[in-house]
Amino acid sequence: MAVTQANPQLNFEIKPSAFSKQSQFLNYIDGQWVPAKSGKTFESRNPAEPSDLVGVFPACGPEDVNAAVAAAKKAYERWRLYPAPKRGEILFKAGQILVERKEQLAREMTREMGKVLAEARGDVQEVIDMTFYAAGEGRRMFGQTVPSELQNKFAMSVRVPLGVVGLITPWNFPMAIPSWKLMPALICGNTCVLKPASDTPLLSHRLVEILEEAGLPKGVVNVVYGSGREVGEPLMAHKDVSLISFTGSTDIGRRVNEACAPTFKRVSLEMGGKNAIIIMDDANLDLAVDGVLWGAFGTSGQRCTAASRVIVHQAVHAQVRDKLKKRIGELKLGYGLNPEVKVGPVVNEAAMKKILEYIEIGKSEGAELIAGGARDTQAGSGWFVQPTLFDNVKSTMRIAQEEIFGPVTALIPVGSFAEAIEVANGIAFGLSTAIYTKNVNQAFTALRDLDSGLCYVNAPTIGAEVHLPFGGTKDTGNGHRDAGTTALDVFSEWKSLYVDYSDKLQRAQIDD
Ligand code: NAP
């Protein structure tokens, strides 16, 4: 669907020809592009300009899930025997295609999800990084050789795949998060059924097109579009699915955990956050303010690692508030393909309403509104919320405890380092925290005592790299980690192997 040229907000290099003319998309099952068995469809629309239809996708149900799992199960028997370095060669090729298409993919992402183009490029770069990283694991995937307690006996451990894995992903990193799951799953030798978020199906579609082009055998990856209830639930209940890897909200993650229990599936959960930046009285305040702007308002605050709390030492509180207020006023909202725009829309109307409700909750709780606080209709016809700053927030207030997932952050003044750590940890989530300080003792104490899976010193709460573990504590996760070599732990089982070449019965723990 063409983007209208009449709206001056959209009049920059977004000619209809800038995007693919294809508007009907299909599932990918057993190497075939197929519609939903019911024939039903749903639409994906541009959140900056909802009249712009990005695409029409199949609205699937249990019968489509069954077909995808059956295809993955069949393909598994060959894929698990395909040497891991050869699997890696396919991923390397996919990575090269991704590099060539980076700009086009990023522009499509901005159109479908709303994040500004620079960030969309970053999302695609993360896919590239993860694809090459996982491809390299094809020649590593180290196991262990250890001495046996008996003579003439060899002992080692190797990783083996799980089988068919179900991958359920959110919309905020439309390509990066599917890649964080697909690439490690594939290199380990699993076959996959992916259920992408209904708000951003296009970028999963593109990723799978690229894997097909790179030579992935049919049935190894399957994509089924549709709602959590109609596609996610049957995938989680399916007896032939060995693992569900889920990234999304804590509420749905809890449901995933319950749904997978009866069939003893492995469950990897990456869920919500309520991340804090601590600014100490000795911090470089301009650097800290840069970090807050990026951490709180990047991706319009729709990152699991977004800095939605700023815990500030009272000695620098007024300075930080005034600097933030000024800089927030300079942020330009609009369609993310406009290079001047720093903050895009939020993902859909329901998300916008939820964020605006939280702003009302903040006001009613007595927090002081310093900047923003409303929908921005000047930025375009889409779902724009002004970057919003609350001051004098108490750590017990709902806006300081609950995930808002929008461009809203809360200044919480504290009197000491110890209080800052206590407030930072005083929430249900444990994904990411950051501290700005020049005091090395304070920095290392914070790294030790902050209860979160990610900690930063003199950098904001966002900025993870693909070769380190990613995930959180408390209600953010269930002990697994995406990315890094820890992703291999999610997508493989350990198998211990013993070879006795003594030619006699040797009894462990009994014979000398
Ligand atoms: P969400 O509503 O929990 O949805 C996540 C995925 O689950 C979507 O594909 C959704 O499908 C699906 N789903 C919904 N109901 C389901 C059900 N009953 N059974 C199975 N699947 C179901 O989350 P979101 O709004 O997409 O994403 C935002 C959340 O993700 C935030 O809480 C954010 O913090 C979190 N997140 C966490 C991380 C991390 O690594 N910790 C990273 C990114 C995002 P539909 O789209 O069809 O509803």
Q: What is the mean pLDDT of the chain?
A: 95
For the chain, give the percent of residues with pLDDT over 90.
Answer: 95
Instruction: Check whether 1 has a pLDDT greater than 50.
Output: no
CA of 48 to the centre of ligand 1 (A): 21
Instruction: Check whether 381 has a pLDDT greater than 60.
Output: yes
Is 255 touching ligand 1 by the criterion CB < 6 Å?
A: yes
For residue range 267-308, list pLDDT tens digits in order.
999 999 999 999 999 999 999 999 999 999 999 999 999 999
Q: Give the distance between the most distant pair of CA atoms in the chain.
A: 86
Q: What is the pLDDT of residue 512?
A: 80
CA of 255 to the centre of ligand 1 (A): 11
Segment (H or E) for 113: helix 84-113
pTM of the model: 0.95
Instruction: Check whether 207 has a pLDDT greater than 60.
Output: yes
| Mean per-residue pLDDT, 358-377 | 97
For residue range 163-184, list pLDDT tens digits in order.
999 999 999 999 999 999 999 9
Closest CA to 210 of 175, 259, 248: 175
Q: Would you name the residues annotated as active-site residues? A: 270, 304
Is 346 touching ligand 1 by the criterion CB < 6 Å?
A: no
Is 431 touching ligand 1 by the criterion CB < 6 Å?
A: yes
CA 199 to ligand 1: nearest atom = 46
Which phi and psi angles does 210 have, rounded to 5°? -70, -40
Band (10; pLDDT cuts 50, 70, 90):
very low
Give CA–CA dist 90/213, Å, rounded. 9
429-430 and 241-247 as β-strands: parallel, antiparallel, unpaired?
unpaired
| Mean per-residue pLDDT, 406-429 | 98
CA 250 to ligand 1: nearest atom = 32
Instruction: Check whether 416 has a pLDDT greater than 90.
Output: yes
Q: What is the pLDDT of residue 20?
A: 74
Q: What is the pLDDT of residue 19?
A: 73
CA of 170 to the centre of ligand 1 (A): 4
Q: H-type helices in 140-200, by residue range?
A: 176-187
Instruction: Check whether 208 has a pLDDT greater than 80.
Output: yes
Is 354 touching ligand 1 by the criterion CB < 6 Å?
A: no
Is 245 touching ligand 1 by the criterion CB < 6 Å?
A: no
- Domains of the chain by range and CATH? 6-271+477-495 (3.40.605.10), 275-457 (3.40.309.10)
| Mean per-residue pLDDT, 210-235 | 98
For residue range 35-84, list pLDDT tens digits in order.
999 999 999 999 999 999 999 999 999 999 999 999 999 999 999 999 99
Is 197 touching ligand 1 by the criterion CB < 6 Å?
A: yes
| Mean per-residue pLDDT, 434-447 | 98
CA 249 to ligand 1: nearest atom = 32
Q: What is the pLDDT of residue 18?
A: 61
Q: Which of the listed residues 231, 252, 265 should we mutate to test ligand 1's pocket, taking the one with most ligand atoms within 8 A of CB?
A: 252
| Mean per-residue pLDDT, 410-433 | 98
Closest CA to 223 of 241, 238, 208, 206: 208
Is 247 touching ligand 1 by the criterion CB < 6 Å?
A: yes
